[in-house]
């Protein structure tokens, strides 16, 4: 949390000579200086940052659960942080929910629409991608508004899914 933000939201930082000098500096600047509205916004930001810190600590504790060890091992290979790992685990745990009754990825073979040749349909993989937001929309494989970073994460998660079934 920024000391300046905390200073102006009244977050309990001690008033000292330097803080008083900063107050004088801002009171003599051109513009609106530090108004009550600015102080309220700074307080709101400080409160949100404190709450975010508490939530991140709770997430770290939850991620240390032994049920997620295999997931975390694979995520670390790909360089995923705690935040991204927790979001993905919240969507895909347990991964067995994407598999068939025998614990294998569900793949159906059907005749292609045009070629009439046998075509594999990876149903488990599609369900997994849909859970992560990569659903097919009939015209394209991914929504065109997605940026490259999200598509990259989806491809990596697909690899995670494939690795977990080895």
| Biggest alpha carbon–alpha carbon distance for the chain | 82
What's the CA gap between 40 and 91, in Å, rounded? 36
- From first to last of its 166 residues, what are the pLDDT tens digits of the chain? 555 555 555 555 555 556 667 667 766 666 666 677 877 888 899 899 999 989 888 888 888 999 999 889 988 898 988 888 888 888 888 888 888 888 888 889 999 888 889 988 888 888 888 888 776 555 444 444 445 555 566 666 666 666 665 4
Query: Can you give the pLDDT at residue 98?
Result: 85
Query: Can you give the pLDDT at residue 48?
Result: 92
pTM comes to: 0.54
Query: Can you give the pLDDT at residue 127?
Result: 86
Q: Is 110 helix (H, G, I), strand (E, B) or coil?
A: strand
Q: For residue 97, what are the CA distances in angstroms to 89, 91, 102, 131?
A: 13, 11, 11, 11
Query: Can you give the pLDDT at residue 166?
Result: 45
Query: Can you give the pLDDT at residue 153?
Result: 62
Cis upstream peptide for 124 (omega within 30°): no
Do β-strands 107-111 and 118-122 pair in parallel, antiparallel, or remain unpaired? antiparallel
CB 89 within 8 A of CB 132: no
Tokens of 30: 């051109």
CB 107 within 8 A of CB 120: yes
């Amino acid at each position: 949390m920024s000391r300046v933000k905390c200073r102006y939201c009244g977050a309990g930082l001690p008033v000292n000579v330097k803080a008083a000098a900063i107050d004088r500096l801002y009171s003599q600047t051109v513009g609106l200086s530090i108004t009550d509205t600015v102080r309220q916004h700074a307080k709101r930001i400080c409160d949100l940052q404190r709450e975010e810190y508490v939530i991140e600590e709770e997430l770290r504790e939850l991620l240390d659960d032994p049920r997620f060890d295999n997931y975390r091992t694979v995520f670390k290979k790909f360089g995923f942080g705690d935040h991204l790992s927790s979001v993905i685990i919240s969507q895909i745990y347990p991964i067995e929910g994407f598999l068939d009754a025998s614990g294998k990825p569900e793949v159906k073979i059907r005749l292609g629409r045009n070629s009439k040749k046998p075509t594999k349909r990876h149903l488990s993989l599609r369900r997994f991608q849909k859970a992560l937001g990569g659903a097919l929309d009939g015209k394209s494989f991914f929504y065109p508004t997605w940026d490259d970073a999200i598509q990259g994460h989806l491809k990596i998660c697909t690899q995670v899914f494939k690795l977990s079934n080895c």
